[in-house]
Each structure stands twice: as structure tokens, then as C-alpha cells.
Structure 1
Amino acid sequence: MSTGMSTPGLVISAPASGTGKTTLMLGLLRAFSQQGLAVQPFKSGPDYIDPAFHRAASGRPSVNLDSWAMSRGMIADQISAGQDADLVLAEGSMGLFDGVAVTGESGNGASADISEMTGWPVVLVVDVSGQAQSAAAVAKGFATYNPNVTLAGVVLNRVASPRHEALTRVGMDAMGIEVLGALPRVKSIEMPERHLGLVQAQEQDGLDAILTEAAKFVSEHVDLERLRAAAQPSQPISSPSQNGTVLDMTPPGQRIALAQDDAFSFVYPHLLQGWRAAGAEILPFSPLANQAPDTSADVCWLPGGYPELHAGKIAAADKFRTGLQVFAQTRPVHGECGGYMAMGAALIDKDGTRHQMAGLLGLVTSYAKRKMHLGYRQATLTHPLPGFEAQSHLRGHEFHYSTILEQPDAPLACVRDATGTEVPETGSVRGHASGTFFHLITKATTS
């Protein structure tokens, strides 16, 4: 049983994607931080992109909370990251109640699960473009859809004029819904639309200025005091056992050579935290700097990222490639998504150019014909994986646009989506080398 957490929290959510919740979230993080508050960000769901910006805006690492993949005990452990903060802000994903059709470890992945589990009220960002009083009907529906989810109030977004705001407020007042702010329609605050990883977000030219401007924009149009006053401490999270908590994350080795640079940056913070908590040592190296994994390491781990943006540089990194090949002769090497592709025979970029990869596996992938692969994954290992025995049940998430042209090696696992339907991206294994297209979140507490 978790004892809860005294730090007050809020969930920043919306009826749908693309309504402006990330802009509000980043503006709030930076604005409250400028006031001298320690603000702990969280992200609902298996997202790498938003947490990168959260960290840049708040100065604190953002933590993923995933009700489909994580047990209640693990979520309770994750939430403890905010125990020394003044305020918790958790950004939702998609619409507030959107999740998969089948319940996972402790929910279906919806942001509402996190609100219900923690007791953090929801600040709903409502895009009022093309409507006025009617927006209140939407907000009222969200306020009453689940009686265990509390709506703190709404922030109106993309308000066209003072008259538009006044009419919209009339509808909200009639429904008894508090308006915490109204953001006028502007384009200067929108975040850069390109895929950015954990390192890239912090190094993005002009990002700090954008975040500062977002804080100014939000501060001028949102009542920060009222919003903060609506936050509530986390309620105790009951858990039948502590299986699947961060402290139970088995590291893949005692000394882990971890690829970390602009091409390989996608690794969940809770994995690194769990590995370190179990006593493992992490030894970072940069393939883009033509560095080989530390020869004293027990295992090498290549996270996901954007190898397709750096394929030429990876192909030219002869010391990295040779070092990885030598390492794999005697010790395990595992890659996730981008790391998996870099372990293959070749990667074909969007222009059709073929780049030589490490050749530990026969995998050939292509971005010449983009196809989105997106969703939760549940895998039953047919071969051992560093840190996991064969027949282990793992939960993860897959998101990439590459197409498999060749995959001649043995499949690593039987992989299914959240509904139990098999997917062809099984991962593969050859000798000490293995890889998956899904990013590991946790070991499932049940099969």
C-alpha cells in the first residue's frame, strides 16, 4: 500500500490531441519555476518527446506514468519522484478518456486512469475554435463522464476575440464549470514540429526563448494562483503486491555500456533508475562520436532514437562498428527500435540511399516507404534477453516509420498488440545479439 504523497498535483488534459495542452503544460512549468517553485512533471503514456520538453522547461526529469503497462505498485513508485516538489503537473496524452480497448496492468492507458488513481484533479484544455457556449456542453460531458475523476476547471484555447471569450464563459458559468484561463489564438508559441529526443530538446536552438515566451503567454492569460489552489495531494494507491515496481527492474548486467547521443537517446528514465537501484553501473558511449562500448562492460544496450537522421555518420563510424562486433562475440548486445536497426545489415534512408550498419543481425530496414507502426506491445520471449529468461512476459510500446525488407534471423519473441493480435515485428536474435522494435517498459506481473 502506498502512503500517498503530500505534494499537490494536477493533470493537464484535453478532449483530444492537438488542442494545445503541451503549450499550456510547458508554459505552466516554466512560469511556476520562475516563481521559485520546484515543479515535478509527469507524462501519461509511453511518450519520449514531451518529457524532453518538460525537463527543459522545469529543470527536473519528467517521469512516465502508464496505466496499461505499469502495475499500481510501479506507478506509486514513479509518483514518489515528486515528493520533494512544491507542485506536480502531469500532462495527459490524446483525449482524457482515450486508451486501448483492453485493460492492462492497472488500466487501459488513459490519462483519466492517472487522475482517478492519484486523485489529482484535471485541468481541461478546450479548443473553442468555431464554437462558444457549445464548448460548455463538451466540458460538462467530461466533468460527468467518470464520477471518480474531478474536473478542476478549463482553460479555453484559441480564443478569437474578447466577445468570443465572453460568450464561451457564459456557457461555462451556466454549467458550473470554472474557467481558469483563456488563451488567445497565436502562432508564435507553438512548439517546433519535428521529432526531437531527450538530448535534442535541450539543445534545440531557441528552445529556452520559446519556453520563456510560453511562460509569459500563459502567465498573462491563466490565473496561476487559482490553478495551483485547485491541486490536490496524491491519495494512497493500493497495490495487491509490489511486483513490477521500479526497484524490481532487473538490470541486463552489472556494468552496462549504454549508447547515448543524438541518434540513440530514447530510454525510459525508470529503466535507468531501476538498473541503478539494483546496483548496476551505466557506462555511456557515443556511436556518433565513433566510440566503441566499454570493453569492461557485461552487456551493451542500444536505445531507440533517430538513426535514420544520422545513418551516414553511423555507417562511417568504423571504431564503433568494429568495437560492437568484437563485443558481441562474447557478450550480449541488445537494441531497441533505432538501436535494433543500427545492429542490422543495412538501413535505407528516405532518399533511398543504403547505409551499412553494424551487421550483428541480418535486419534490413527502409524509410523510403514510410509506414507508421504505433501501439502497445506485449511480448513472450522465445529466447533469453539480457535481464530476462525465455518465456518472460514483457510490456512495451512501438512507434516508428520504418519498413522491414529483410529479417533472416530467428524471432526473439511472440509479440502481440494490446488486443492480443499478433504483430509481425517479432524482433530477432543471432548469437549474443538481439533486438526489438518495441521499447521495453516493464516486465508484466501476469501473462
Structure 2
Amino acid sequence: MSSEIDSGNLLSRAEQLVNLARAAGADAADAVVVRSRSRSVSVRQGNVESTDSAESDDFSLRVFVGKKVASVSANPGFDLKALAERAVAMARVSPEDPFAGLADETDLARMPLDLELFDSTEMSSEALTEAALAMEAAALDVSGVSKSAGAGASAGMGGLVLVTSHGFSGSYKASRFGRSVGVIAGEGTKMERDHDFDSRLYAAELDAPELIGRRAGERVVRRLNARQADTGSNITVVFDPRVARGFVGHIAGAINGAAVARKTSFLRDRMGEQVLKKGINITDEPLRVRGPASRPFDGEGVRGERLVMIEDGVLKHWFLSSSTARELGLRTNGRGARGGTTVSPSSTNLALEPGDMSPEDLIRSIGTGFYVTELIGHGVDMITGEYSRGASGFWIENGELAYPVSEVTIASNLKDMFMRLTVANDIDRKFGVAAPTIAIEGMTLAGR
């Protein structure tokens, strides 16, 4: 697997595309090349199930004719001139978009920046297989585990090249290494399933396969002999960090400028107001060195800075790309992400900042409640904030995890949940969305 991005050649081709688009009649244009390389191995019950390798270079050209815009994509080997002419012809017959256009020149990143996102370590299929088998063996060694649901290891890299007609030209690359294992405990209707995983930019920072496997086995065995909890209201629900990251994703969705512009966010009219409990901060940091979602510039060539999106519970910023910012009468904050031929706002290294209390002390302070380790379903309405999810985890009694619980539903409204939030101090920033253990008071639980 080739791990390098030939930025010189790809930049040259992207520049040619932009120049040909201008020659064909575009008033402005940008070209993007996304390069990806990956290798993965999956095993089950001691046998290799698959070994996969993939490589791709995807070219995208976006052109503007006045306020009309069109985008086209192609794989290597295409005719540059024909692609550029087709894109311009498409733009000429497209409806006008009053907010379309490249990022303002004054917002463009001008100096290269190395965020240490790339590890050149080459992982052979044999090394990946060895790691996957070791994870599975360690999980199966845990007493009570009945079988493997499979284990896998992967290594890959991605690169992005961006050229615009108003002077931006840049590229960067990032590596990614991963390990995961799923296991089953129990039999028949009493069977439980769980997993564990790790993902890093640098191979040497990955958790050991044996540790990942043992954690997966221990997690699933703890879930055996689960029961339903009694239906009740005003329940304090504690979210394990793995689940809390999804909760932070709901916050990110509610403060995404695109949702605000479409009026599909329940926070769309709340800028400058208290939306989270006082003392709670949400940060987004695109330039963090070795950050899992870092980038030296966004999909439009704009360099974003660290922002406190919600400060002391008060909403301060939306995630904004250039077009979304124009629609809202604002200025981009460098959160435009490429998705195929489109640019949409998104978070980078997003974090619900930790508090001062350990998760153990947080649980002790609750006394009685429900500790959630898994959520099921997608019962979240981002227009109204209504929240209802299937859940499993552990009942809390006398400040301790007492017994496993499954087949229950937790419900509330995100607007209320945001204001009843307490955070612990156990954040792990190795994920693009990071969160500590959190507790939310006043939820409804439907059980037996």
C-alpha cells in the first residue's frame, strides 16, 4: 500500500482543472483531490475471514458562473478539458444560489502548517492479522465469554489537495490505525454482545491487542443476567463516555449553521443565550497537534481557530462554512468540510470539557439511578428536541453499580437535558468527539 500523497502531481492536475474551467467560462472554480489508501484484516474464531486493500483518487471540480454553481466528480484518467467544459455547461443551466461562491480571499490560509497528522509506519497484512488474532484470543480467555463476533485491524491514510481560482493551493495527509473486537457471552435468549476498540493517528499509540480483547470480554460478561428496571420519572441517568460522545454529537447537530439556516435546529433562535447548565463548556479545536480530526485548512482553504462554541453554558458560535455564513449574515469560521462535491459545516476536534469530579464520585453522589452503556434506535427529533432511546447498562444503588439492566427506554427533551447536565473529569481526547462521563437529572425511564 502506497502511503504517500504525490502532492506535486495532484496539485498540478488540480490547477489545470481550475484553469480549464476559467477558460471555459467559469467566473470562479475550485478543484479537490481526495486520496485514500487502506488495508484491513478481519478474523473470526481463529480464522482469517478477509484481507482487503483499497486505493482511490477522487477528483471534484466546482465551478461558479455568476451565482450559479455546478459540481462534477471523476476518477483518474479522465479528460481534464472535457470535465471542465461539462461543469461550466451544467452551471449555466442551474438555478441561482444567492449564497454560492468561494471563501473570501481574506479568509484563506496562507502559510503551511504541520499538525503531525501522518505516521509513515507500514502495517503488513501479517502484522494486522497477528493483532486481530491476539485481540480475539484475549477476549475469549475471559471467563464467561462464549464466542467471538469477530476481530479486525486496519491501517490507512487519507490526503486532500485543494486549489482555488483566487489563489489558494494546499495539501495535507493523515494516517489512521484501528483495532476492534466483538464478543458474545451467554446462550439463547440470555445472550449478550459487546465490543471494544481503539483508533489512533500513530500506530505506536494504539492500545495493545490483548488489552482491547480483555476489555471487550469483561464488558460483555458484566452484562449477563440483565433485568428490566421499574418504570419511573425523575431518574438520574449517567452516560458512559462511549455513549456520552453521541450525546455531544446531538449538541453539535443543534449548533450546526446548516441546520440553523434550514430551521431544523431547536437552538436556532438561541444565540447568546444559556443553552447548557452554567459551568459547561464545549470547545472545537481544528489545529490541535496530532488531533484525530485536525486539519490545517478546511474544505474551502480557510484555517479555523480554536473556538469555545458554548461558554459557561452560553451559546457563542455556529459551525459555519462560507455559504452557510453568508445565508446567516455571518463570516465563516473555517468549519467547511468537503463531502463529495459539496461543502457543509462540521465540527473538528469537538469536546465537552471535563469537570472536577471523578466518575466514581459522580456515581456515588447520585445514590440511585441508571448507568447507560449502550443506546438503541434513533429517537431524537432535532427540530423539537424530543429524545427517546432504547438503553441498557447498570442500575445504581447506594452509589454503586448494582446489576445489569436491559430492555428499557429513557426519554426527555434535549433542551431540559442540556440544563441538567453534570460532567466528570475522565475525558479521552483520542476521538474526534470527546466527552467524559455525564449525568443528567430528571429523565423518564420506561421498564417493567
Task: Answer whether TM exceeds 0.5 for this pair.
Answer: no
TM-score normalized by the length of structure 1 = 0.24
Between Structure 1 and Structure 2, the one with more strand by share is: 2
Larger C-alpha radius of gyration, 1 or 2?
Answer: 2
TM-score normalised by length of structure 2: 0.23
Q: In proportion to residue count, which structure has more helix?
A: 1
